[in-house]
Amino acid sequence: MKGNGSKVTSLKEAVRSFIFDRAHISIGGFTVNRNPMAAVHEIIRSKVRDLHLYVHSNGQGVDELIGAGCVKSVEIAYGANGRFAPTCVRFRKAVEQRQIGIEDYTNYQMTLRFLAGAMGLPFLPCRSALGTDIVETWGFSEQSRVNDPKLPDKKLDILDNPFGQWADASKVVLVPAINPDVSFIHVQEADSQGTCKIMGLSFADVEQAKASKRLVITCERLVDTETMRNHPEQNQIPGIYVDAVVEVPYGAYPTACYRCYDYDPVYLHEYYRDAQEDAKNDQNRQRYVYDVEKHQDLLDLVGPERLEGIAADPETGYAVNLQRV
């Protein structure tokens, strides 16, 4: 039962309760912003294997999950971190060495797929990618799709407009719904029932959250329910969708969380360098993930000085004049 009771738990408990080998999962955020990194690190520590990931452009979290060997296959639109990684390194290596299966969509298509899942529809239409290899080239073969009850039989399909030339469209692309077994979303504020307030861009978090069979929320601050209800129009995810709530300050670190802290360029650059070599990548993970028991230990390891350096300026919501390159 989701309902209205308190869903507050520990991160370890939340991750171990809802993740399992071969689970189909999604994570929130976008490239180096509001990735649920504390949850990602806990997933890595759980040693779960063969995950199937649904991704639009969720950069850092996805790359760390792939690098840790948790991922078997990925449906993705974009595997890069802007200036911090022209292509996400472990993602790139895993695809080039065929260590993971891949299926490419666009950002809009992935967003619509989550929305279709959230709406209880089998698919939604769009006008993107007609005539391209996104439509023509499939990563998972039709046979492997038919054999896998958790995947739709087709990557996508094209439909002639059943309304003639209505809206000046002769054809549309149909993209299949996604209903992840579990999604992990990090937000600025939530209450014990799971109602969430996201500040700044929501990316596709709301669609992902509402499409998921299980939903784990990590938040910067647990806020009492009465306060959350003073401005309900500012809350994007009501508690009825949520299975677990965990208060994790700096839960998106090293990615940014608007109005709380910026991304940490030091961590991200170091990760990018280390990720180039298998041994160094393993050492990086050992140091920042396995050798820390919980997220607070990672924050202690990084130290207060660096955290202070990325503290959000109250007016702009980011760290003004942060040394970024």
Partner 1 sequence: MDYTPREMMAIMAAREIDDGTIVFCGTGISMLAAIAAKKITSPNCVIFFETGAIDSRLDEIPLVVSDPRVMYGASSTSGMLDAFAAMQNRIIGQYVVGILGAGQIDKFGNLNTTCIGPYEQPKIRFPGSGGGCDVTSFVPKSIIFMQQQKRKFVKKLDYVTSPGYLDGPQGREKAGLLPGGPSVVITNMGTFRFDEQSKEMYLQSTYPGIRPDDILAEMEFEVDSSNVREEIPPTMDELQVLREKCDPHRLICN
**Nearer residue to partner 1 within complex by CB, 124 or 292:** 124
Q: What is the DSSP letter of 257?
A: B
CA distances (Å), 170 to each of 7, 150, 161, 191, in order?
48, 31, 5, 47
CA distances (Å), 301 to each of 37, 45, 288, in order?
15, 17, 8
| Shortest Cβ 317–partner 1 spacing (Å) | 5
| Shortest Cβ 235–partner 1 spacing (Å) | 15
Name, in order, each residue with C-beta under 8 angstroms of 194's C-beta and a sequence gap of 6 or more.
Answer: 2, 7, 215, 217, 237, 238, 239, 240, 241, 242, 243, 244, 245
**Nearer residue to partner 1 within complex by CB, 15 or 66:** 66
CA–CA distance, 143 with 141 (Å, rounded to integer) = 5
The angle subtended at Cα 60 by Cα 200 and Cα 250, nearest 5°, is 55
| Shortest Cβ 41–partner 1 spacing (Å) | 20
| Shortest Cβ 292–partner 1 spacing (Å) | 25
**Nearer residue to partner 1 within complex by CB, 57 or 218:** 57
**Nearer residue to partner 1 within complex by CB, 97 or 224:** 97
Phi, psi of 81 (to 5 degrees): -125, 40
| Shortest Cβ 9–partner 1 spacing (Å) | 27
**Nearer residue to partner 1 within complex by CB, 67 or 79:** 79
| Shortest Cβ 83–partner 1 spacing (Å) | 4
CA distances (Å), 125 to each of 57, 110, 161, in order?
20, 12, 10
- The structure tokens listed for 209 are 């959250």
Phi, psi of 301 (to 5 degrees): -65, -45
**Nearer residue to partner 1 within complex by CB, 39 or 256:** 256
